Amino acid sequence: MLTGKNIILGICGGIAAYKTPHLVRLFKKAGANVQVLATASALQFVSELSLATVSRRPVLRGLFELEGPGDEDKTMHITLGEWADALVIAPATANTIARLNAGLCDDMLSVCFITLRPDKPVLIAPAMDGHMYGSPSVRRNLSALAGQGCLILEPESGDLASGQCGLGRMPEPEAIVKALVAMLQPAGESALKGRQVVVTAGPTREKLDDVRFLSNYSSGKMGFAVAREAARRGALVRLIAGPVNLATPQGVERIDVESASGMLEAASRFFGECDLFIGAAAVADYRPENPVKGKIKKNDEEMELRLVRNPDILGEFSASRRPGQVSVGFALETAGGIGYAKEKLERKRLDLVAFNVSDGATTGFEVDTNALTLIDREGHVTELPVMPKGELAGRLLDAVEPLLPRR
Ligand code: C5P
């Protein structure tokens, strides 16, 4: 499963560190070479001797180590980043998560995170008390790391070392290995390899005047996750992005737009040549009929705004596509109603629709997790539970791949 893969396991100082010798054993059993990096406090929770014995390598800790895997002619932090096929950080504490997001570089783990080749996967398994996990700073840091392509493995609920019961337990080592195997799955097996994929993502802004606009809360995270995963599977991905605050995924061609009309103009350039179109953008349905030059002046009167319909980008693609081109849409509602999604599948002539409900907490706009119900033309319904958007993107593409014509 992981034969010949070089894995760096970064261990932080949390009680879940006691499970890491077992994790190392599982990696080794799967055929991987494992180099353990431990933060200073990690070794308060797990013995260095145990880790060195199961990994068959000395545990690296300080910045100034001289011996490790890789090219002996280069300095250690560079060789580690080049040697690794993947970096797993488990357990990841709030402290390390903050340090990685800030770009600090003062121990072996943080340096390795920065020097890792950008195309190599990073899996972060946070484990901490439930209140800490829910704190705004931890959420913000995890969100930023997810935004730059790290896969965050959500902690599980259960008894915590603090005596509380709740979210915060590190997933069992078996689950961590499974997630890593999925991340390292070779793209050569994907039906998306070499295909042209267009993904729309984020909100659109519809100008009222030169300083104001109508928009929505879409963060673009779901669409960016889909674009990243499609590129990882070897597709040539064009990401048409509304105004969002997200880093461009590795290997993706990004085209920034502002309005629905701009998004249609950019997307339609690829209508003819793309194999797959995924409409993940939350396109504004209406725009002000007559946007004003400069700034609308207020007065004592009420103001009426006349809105006109925007073009339906996904609808236009579906209507004009040739046989074999696959069209996938999202249907977001604020409450139940899978019927709306089925209606959208028909009306927009989609091959697959991903229905999601925005509850403002674990699903929908802005948050890092989501839950999707996938419905295809044959009426198959697949319910995917709440999980990180990165993981969900993989599950969505797993369902899309069989819809692509065989080569
Ligand atoms: O029509 P509705 O917004 O409910 O449909 C949602 C789906 O259609 C999403 O996939 C969205 O990206 C796409 N859409 C679009 N252009 C619009 C409106 C929605 O591409 N103007």
The pLDDT tens digits for 188-214 are: 679 999 999 999 999 999 999 999 999
Dihedrals φ, ψ of 364, to 5°? 90, -150
Q: How far apart are CA 332 and CA 365, in angstroms?
A: 9
* Residue bearing the CA closest to ligand 1, atom 17: 312
- Which ligand 1 atom sits closest to the C-alpha of 280? 12
* Distance from Cα 153 to the centre of ligand 1, integer Å: 30
Query: CA-CA-CA-CA torsion for 167, 173, 179, 180, nearest 10 degrees?
Result: 130
Which pLDDT band holds residue 252 (cuts at 50, 70, 90)?
A: very high
Token pair of 58, please?
């000395």
Dihedrals φ, ψ of 123, to 5°? -115, 125
Pocket of ligand 1 (CB under 6 A): 200, 260, 279-281, 283, 285, 310, 312-314, 329-331, 344
Give the pLDDT confidence score for residue 200 in this predicted structure: 98
Residue among 344, 393, 365, 397 at smallest CA distance from 242 = 365
pTM to 2 decimal places: 0.82
Pairing assessment for the beta strands 369-376 and 352-357 based on DSSP bridges:
antiparallel
Give the pLDDT confidence score for residue 176 in this predicted structure: 96
Annotation says 216 is catalytic: yes
Q: Which of 141, 216, 356, 370 is catalytic?
A: 216
Tens-digit pLDDT profile for residues 216-228 = 999 999 999 999 9
Tens-digit pLDDT profile for residues 15-29 = 999 999 999 999 999
Task: State the chain's mean pLDDT as an integer.
Answer: 92
